[in-house]
């Protein structure tokens, strides 16, 4: 197998693992009473992994598979978080049913051998 083929195979495996992680994250949120409004929503500002709503909270959810929770938190930069918040606001502005919702940026971290962890408002205060 050539280097290019090996790299393509790793990329495909990574995409499949990422999609599985997003499905697992959606199931976790649904078990907690959230309604999933979208997967991999592409906006002008950013791509939202999961968009979920519970009550008046609109959760823009970033899903990360990493070796640890800390690594997952550190992976999402300040600029990415700002783009995700703007993307959530843009989606809410375009849907009358979401008027008045509180937009929150959540993280679902998945690590090998550990249960998935949902952290609501993961980066509050920044």
Which overall architecture, per CATH, does domain 3-119 show? 3-Layer(aba) Sandwich (3.40)
Rg (CA), the chain: 15
42-82 pLDDT per residue, tens:
999 999 999 999 999 999 999 998 888 788 888 999 999 99
Where are the extended beta strands (E) located within the chain? 35-42, 47-54, 57-65, 102-110, 117-119
Averaged over 105-119, what is the pLDDT?
91
pLDDT of 10 strictly over 80: no
Q: Where are the domains of the chain?
A: 3-119
């Amino acid at each position: 197998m050539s280097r290019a083929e090996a790299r393509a195979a790793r990329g495909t495996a990574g995409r499949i693992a990422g999609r599985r992680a997003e499905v697992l994250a959606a199931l976790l949120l649904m078990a907690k009473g959230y309604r999933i409004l979208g997967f991999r929503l592409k906006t002008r500002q950013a791509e939202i992994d999961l968009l979920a709503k519970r009550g008046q909270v609109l959760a823009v959810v970033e899903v990360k598979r990493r070796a640890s929770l800390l690594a997952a938190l550190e992976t999402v930069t300040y600029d990415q978080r700002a783009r995700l918040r703007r993307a959530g606001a843009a989606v809410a502005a375009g849907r009358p049913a979401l008027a008045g919702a509180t937009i929150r940026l959540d993280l679902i971290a998945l690590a090998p051998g550990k249960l998935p962890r949902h952290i609501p408002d993961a980066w509050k205060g920044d």
